[in-house]
Structure 1
Amino acid sequence: MKMKPLFLLLLVLITMGATAQGSDAKRDKIKALKTSLLTTKLELTSTEAEKFWPVYNAFEEKQYDIRHKKMHSLIDKLKDGSAEKMNEKEAAVFLSQLQSAEDDLYQNRKKLVTNLKNIISPIKIIKLKKAEEDFNRTLLKEYRGKKE
């Protein structure tokens, strides 16, 4: 496993966790902004939207649960410096837990794409991926701007 993708994943998760921890109101605001952006970018018909949003919202909730239940304790270990104090056995267990959580995130994403193939076109699925990346990049830039 390459360290750069792992580092980037952890950075995004830490950032998203810190952003979402403020309150449910912040999470709701971010969700509303994301919904608005996706609606605009995907140009969903009313029939597509009716089927798309329940599937996408279930995906988002599952991602949130994985990130905040499985990844939270792992991220805390990295923040408090215990990673430097781990022995080989503890590091192997930690790595296994991390890989399991990453696999859960990947499998959830894979399930989303499979489910969406019956609802929207492949082009719209690709547009969804691009819109999500753009949104996350913008959110990260805004978060970084507020920290400075």
Structure 2
Amino acid sequence: MNFKKLFPILLLFVSFNFYAQGEKMKEKKEQIKALKVAFLTTELDLTANEAEKFWPIYNTFDDKQFELRHQKMKTFMRKMNDGSLDKMTEKEANTFLTQMESTEEELFLLRKKFMQNLKGIFPAVKIIKLRKAEEDFNRKLLQQYRNKGPKR
């Protein structure tokens, strides 16, 4: 078989593989989100009225937060992995640092706005419980990941 006939077939297999990996990641993300919803609902003991107001606000916040963190990590990892970090000038490093600070500030302002929105739904104690529940969920998720990871 000549290469001109083999190349499109190979490309097709590679694209299916990338698509399958993308779908698997999307599926995992949805699975984690469902677990988080169940965990937070239980931990916060949400009433139907509270849940109706809370989840749209929380989901918007969570999606924006994820996007910001993902964007930040992608940029950071690209710099770390392509070797440009060692070749960076002081000026480039300062620019990169400013970008990192800007992202952190954006995350802070996003959380602050989210907290303000929650004050119209929950008493302060429940907002604090939400923060604790989020931390507990993340800790639990990380622990499960560590336990299922490759054994050393």
TM range (shorter): 0.7 to 0.9
> What is the match of residue 97 of structure 1?
99
> What is the match of residue 110 of structure 2?
108
Q: How does 1:113-128 map to 2 (within 5 A)?
A: 113-128=115-130
Report Cα offsets for 1:45-94 as digits up to 9, x if no partner: 11111100000000011111112234321232124443232221111011
1:38 has 2:37 as partner: no
Q: Residues of 2 paired with 1:21 and 1:74: CA distance?
A: 24
| Residue ranges of structure 1 left out of the alignment (5+ in a row) | 1-19
Percent identity over the alignment? 53
The amino acid across from 1:131 in the alignment is A
Tell me if structure 2 keeps the 8 A contact 1:71–1:101: no
1:23 has 2:28 as partner: no
Instruction: Give the secondary-structure state (helix, strand or coil) at the position aligned to 1:119.
Output: coil
Q: Residues of 2 paired with 1:63 and 1:21: CA distance?
A: 21
Deviation (angstroms), 1:22: 5.0
Q: For 1:52, which of 48, 51, 54 is the aligned residue? A: 54
Instruction: Give the secondary-structure state (helix, strand or coil) at the position aligned to 1:23.
Output: helix
The amino acid across from 1:30 in the alignment is I
Q: Residues of 2 paired with 1:108 and 1:82: CA distance?
A: 30
> What is the match of residue 4 of structure 1?
none
Report Cα offsets for 1:2-26 as digits up to 9, x if no partner: xxxxxxxxxxxxxxxxxx9951100
Deviation (angstroms), 1:145: 2.6
> What is the match of residue 140 of structure 1?
142
> What is the match of residue 71 of structure 1?
73
Length, aligned pairs only: 129
Tell me if structure 2 keeps the 8 A contact 1:70–1:101: yes
